[in-house]
Amino acid sequence: MLSLQEDRKWQLFYSFLFPVFIMLIAFAAKNISPFGGRNLMAMDGYAQYYPMLRQYLRAGSDFSFAGGLGFNRLTQSAYYTNSPLWLLLRLFPVKYSIQAVHFIVILRFGLAGLSFAYFLLRRYQVQTRYLFAFASAYALSAYNLAFINQFMWMDIVILLPLLAAALLSLWEDGHFLPYALLLALALYSNFYLAYSLCLFAVLWSFYLLFKEKEKTKKRLLFLLRFAASSLLGAGLSAFVLLPAYLGLQNTLAAGLEPTGSLKMYHPLWQYFQQLLPFQKISLVFEVPNLYAGLLTFLLALCYLFNKKRTWRDRVIFILFLLFSYLSFNFNALDYIWHGFHYPNQLPGRQSYLFIFVLLLFAFTAYKENSLEIPVLENEAGKRKNYRGLKTLIAVLLLIELSSNAIFTVSQETWAANHPAYIRYEEEMLYLTEKYAPGEDEFYRTEFLKPHHNQGLRYGYNGLGYYSSLMSGKSYKFFADIGMEVYAKNVSTNFVPDRIVDNIFAVRYLIQKNSDPVDFEDLHLVKVEELKELTLYENPDYFSLGFVIDGLDSRGLTASEMREELGKHLGPAAISQKVQFMTLDSFKPDRIQGHLTLEEEGQLLTSIGSEEGWSVYVNGEKLTPFEAYDYLLAIPLPAGQHHLEFVYRTPGKAAGTLLTLLSAASLLLWYGLKNKRQKSVRE
């Protein structure tokens, strides 16, 4: 018989290996690369996550011109690409980056099982051959399978059991550092889902406080430590968290208030249905994804009805079920759980918390022999009966979980055609490298037919942009000038237009040879034709900054921009009335140039007037204004001017200071605690 220590190691190993093994089979069944011709770059994986991951690999400054008229890359990454696991992408060549994403997705399933097994072993200190079955139930739950294309959400699922274990250590032993560090990591990795994890930390702490009778002094001391370590943990991530919070305030979603009356979403029976295997995954406003094994749900019910349970145990379990149901189904609680706004599709994004707690009740029933069945009268026979029953339950659970995972991935998961998705990859890499701007140049490139986030994917300065962190001003501006928009607040696709191409510095436009677009009125010149793509040049593209004689753009709206500029930009006047700023050097967050004016005028730029930009003219800081509701512009007197545009992420300096202060406070607290413990031992 294995020792407790050896058994723990094997349970951890199996908890990692089994979900990975099942997901490899599921990927093969779905023909997902490298096992076939499909990939996970479907749904938001196609339009947002993969292009953002490609940008993450080449990221430099906090600001980027890869989409829109520029956006804050730091705040975007806080939502999409801050997972430390994405560092593994740097080990793979770019041409294998999709397969690398698949590898990390599968790895996360294994890590989820591993972290849950660690929690069970930490909490229960038991020796059972089938603990890994419950860890596999957590890893292969409907939440993880349904949101397999939402690459940025899986880290929180991995961190949840570790954070719960850290709070257990805080309660039992006063160890505050693991909890603070894990909270900081969660907030850094994905602040959006970490918000629900913070709510869970509060609820879990109250559970620890009241699950058993304890002295008031111990409870108060725990609350003080919990509050202090929570603040310091949040403070550790403030260098990202504060800029992300300020960035969120600029989105349209931040201004949305709850509308309509209080209501319930779905009938109760539909929630029970979602506890069954082989269900359709919920992606569009349906009942949340709740499945983690039908057998585990039945075990949880056995926990409730076991006659050994105290009234306190039963009350906690019933409150858990009732509160979970209302959180999923009552719109007011749904609004709170999702960061004080209603989610756009993808329902019940906190259901991973429900699955975690339900599995704890199920495992408690399993390890305590809570199944009330006839057994042999002698003790040896009883133990043998229970051991055989436990083995049967674990084996059936593993079969159920495996079958459901393979079914869900092969039948329900959204997947893209892999050859079609990478069809233009080689030629795009060639074009973007050959026609990349120099250090003293700026121009934009776009497809003639609109596409989401291709500038992020291929590394050129683009205009199409799709992100939940897109500012409301940017979205409204592009909508008002006639560009394509999607999802009401988060995206724009650039539609080529001669005047707009010019003022937005669009030098190159790319045609897909198999899907041509009529562009006769754009006055383009063919530059290079390849097998799949043809590159065209707009010879009349403007500089990043320009002055138009006689134009007063102050007070004009975005919808008036095309008409007003059209009056000043006749075909013969494009290069004769317009004065361009000459660039001396260009970096996304620091742009330098010069310009000579014979008389005063307005310098218009194709930079979005996002918070964070400062403008210096001949070393003196000037206050810019907002032209056409969004373009950064400055008034200039006559004369020679050296211009400098500097971008500093709002909140980053203050957030970094908070991070340093929090780190110093944690180290001081840790040092004092160790010194006090040492003096007690002596």
Phi, psi of 338 (to 5 degrees): -100, 40
Phi, psi of 417 (to 5 degrees): -75, 115
Tell me which CATH code domain 545-647 carries: 2.60.40
**Could you tell me if 612 and 624 are in contact, meaning their C-beta atoms sit under 8 angstroms apart?**
no
Q: Identify which of 318, 295, 321, 308 has the alpha carbon closest to the alpha carbon of residue 368.
A: 308
Residues in contact with 381: Cβ distance below 8 Å, sequence separation at least 6, in sequence order: 375
Report the distance separating Cα 32 and Cα 418, nearest Å. 8
259: number of Cβ within 10 Å: 7
The confidence band for 380, taking pLDDT boundaries of 50, 70 and 90, is low
Question: Encoding tokens for residue 118?
Answer: 């660690």
Average pLDDT over residues 391-405: 97
**Amino acid in the structure at residue 575:** S
**pLDDT, tens digit (0-9, with 9 covering 90-100), for 114-160:** 999 999 999 887 767 899 999 999 999 999 999 999 999 999 999 99
What average pLDDT does the chain have?
92
Length of the chain, please?
682
Q: Identify which of 315, 313, 319, 329 has the alpha carbon closest to the alpha carbon of residue 274.
A: 329
Q: Identify which of 150, 189, 131, 194 has the alpha carbon closest to the alpha carbon of residue 2.
A: 131
Q: How many helices (H) and strands (E) does the chain have?
A: 25, 21
Q: Identify which of 187, 163, 190, 196 has the alpha carbon closest to the alpha carbon of residue 235.
A: 187
HEC sequence for 198-235: HHHHHHHHHHHHHCCCCCHHHHHHHHHHHHHHHHHHHH
681: number of Cβ within 10 Å: 6
pLDDT for 436? 95
pLDDT for 370? 59
What SS3 state is found at 587? strand
Residues in contact with 29: Cβ distance below 8 Å, sequence separation at least 6, in sequence order: 406, 409, 410
**Could you tell me if 574 and 538 are in contact, meaning their C-beta atoms sit under 8 angstroms apart?**
no
DSSP 137-180: HHHT-HHHHHTTT-GGGHHHHHHHHHHHHHHHHHHHH---HHHH
pLDDT for 374? 46
Return the higher-pLDDT residue of 255 and 72: 72
Report the distance separating Cα 283 and Cα 143, nearest Å. 10
What SS3 state is found at 293? coil
pLDDT for 369? 67
Average pLDDT over residues 486-514: 90
**pLDDT, tens digit (0-9, with 9 covering 90-100), for 574-619:** 556 889 999 999 999 999 999 999 999 999 999 999 999 999 999 9
Residues facing residue 231 across a β-bridge = none
Report the distance separating Cα 576 and Cα 558, nearest Å. 25
CA 210 to chain centre: 34
What SS3 state is found at 264? strand
Average pLDDT over residues 342-367: 93
**pLDDT, tens digit (0-9, with 9 covering 90-100), for 306-348:** 888 888 899 999 999 999 999 999 999 999 999 888 887 889 9
Report the distance separating Cα 112 and Cα 155, nearest Å. 8
pLDDT for 682? 66
Report the distance separating Cα 351 and Cα 347, nearest Å. 9
Highest mean pLDDT, choosing among 97-106, 362-371, 565-574? 97-106
Residues facing residue 595 across a β-bridge = 641
Longest CA pairwise span in the chain (Å): 106
Residues in contact with 273: Cβ distance below 8 Å, sequence separation at least 6, in sequence order: 279, 287
Average pLDDT over residues 470-481: 92
**Could you tell me if 568 and 548 are in contact, meaning their C-beta atoms sit under 8 angstroms apart?**
yes
141: number of Cβ within 10 Å: 30
**Could you tell me if 279 and 110 are in contact, meaning their C-beta atoms sit under 8 angstroms apart?**
no
pLDDT for 206? 93
DSSP E strands in 47-198: the ranges are: 63-64, 71-72
The DSSP 8-state label assigned to residue 449 in this structure reads: S
37: number of Cβ within 10 Å: 14
Report the distance separating Cα 77 and Cα 240, nearest Å. 9
**Could you tell me if 470 and 248 are in contact, meaning their C-beta atoms sit under 8 angstroms apart?**
no
In a 10 Å sphere around its CB, with 0-12 CB exposed, 13-18 middle and 19+ buried, how is residue 588 labelled? middle
**Could you tell me if 72 and 247 are in contact, meaning their C-beta atoms sit under 8 angstroms apart?**
yes
**Could you tell me if 195 and 339 are in contact, meaning their C-beta atoms sit under 8 angstroms apart?**
yes
In a 10 Å sphere around its CB, with 0-12 CB exposed, 13-18 middle and 19+ buried, how is residue 648 labelled? middle
Report the distance separating Cα 512 and Cα 498, nearest Å. 19
- Given the DSSP bridges, would you call strands 506-512 and 533-537 parallel, antiparallel or unpaired? antiparallel
The confidence band for 570, taking pLDDT boundaries of 50, 70 and 90, is low
CA 574 to chain centre: 43
**Amino acid in the structure at residue 342:** Y
29: number of Cβ within 10 Å: 16
Average pLDDT over residues 5-29: 94
C-alpha distances out from residue 249 to 468, 649, 672, Å? 12, 14, 39
- HSE on the CB side for 575, CA within 13 Å? 4
pTM attached to this predicted model = 0.93
From 99-108, 166-175, 479-488, the region with the lowest mean pLDDT:
479-488
